[in-house]
Amino acid sequence: MTLARPIRLLLLGAPGSGKGTQTSRLLNQFPSIRAISSGDVLRTQIAAGTPVGKEASTYIKNGQLVPDSTMVGLITSQLSQKGWLNQSSTWLLDGFPRTVNQAKSLRGVLSKSKANLNLVVELDVDQRIILDRIEARWVHVPSGRVYNLDYNPPKVPFKDDVTGEPLSKREDDTAEVFQRRLDKYNQEIGPLKSFYADIGILSTVSGNTSDIIYPKLSKLILDKFGTTA
């Protein structure tokens, strides 16, 4: 399905709320949309042993946020390298910005290119049900594909469906680190939502499963951006 107008979407949501899951579904339904997941970018840097990866690793392991300046530099340079800083580009961001400082910096960069975000969606999931999900999560780091032993298991246990390569656990998917990530999220999300609500582009979709959330998210996008015939 092709959208009539370019969408530049940010997905907000607690750790494990389903940002990656909703991103995959959106890319499936709307093939013109491309995506950057800040967590995936960081995990790729860590796997490659780059200086940014080395810096980020300590923060991620402890459930803390990577410093704003590092994140802004990393993601805006990706946007630029991919040629996405123009007003006809269509993309989505999963997990960045996640502080008001990051949001302000990104807005400065995007404004110059007339490529500002035009929709921010908060995925609102009951936080009491999320821990079980991430304890059962397995990931394929090179592609960012996400599995869950109960909800969407791989076809062959512990192997990626597309490449057959082994899946791994994320270092930060333990109960202790998860609680720290959640606390940090709850601390940052209020001001971040206010920032985007003031600009007039914030929406919230609620539901305790990704199957409940996805049709709401898809409808919101179709209503706002339309489709070509």
With CB under 5 to 8 Å by kind, the binding choice for 101 among ligand G5P, Mg ion, none is none
Residue 20 labeled ligand binder: yes
Which CB atom, from 88 or from 144, has the smaller least distance to ligand G5P? 144
Q: Is 97 in the site for Mg ion (CB under 5 A)?
A: no
Binding site for ligand G5P (CB under 6 A): 13, 15-21, 38-39, 42, 59-60, 63-66, 71, 95-98, 102, 133-134, 137, 146-148, 150-152, 172, 181, 209-210
153 labeled binding residue:
no
Structure tokens at 221: 């996008």
- 68 vs 199 by CB, closer to ligand G5P: 68
b/e string for 98-133 if b means 16 or more Cβ within 10 A? bbbbbbebbbebbeeeebebbbbbbbbbeeeebbeb
Shortest separation between residue 208's beta carbon and Mg ion, angstroms: 18
Side by side, which strands form the sheet with 202-206? 34-37, 91-94, 8-13, 119-124, 202-206
Using CB atoms within 10 A of its CB, is residue 150 exposed (0-12), middle (13-18) or buried (19+)?
Answer: exposed
To the question of whether residue 34 is assigned a binding role by annotation, the answer is: no
What contacts 191, CB < 8 A, 6 or more positions away? Answer: 100
Provide, rounded to whole angstroms, the least separation between the CB of residue 66 and ligand G5P. 4
Record the tokens describing residue 85, joined without a space. 């800083």
> Which residue's CB is nearer to Mg ion, number 173 or number 225?
173
Known binding-site positions for AMP: 38, 43, 64-66, 95-98, 102, 170, 181
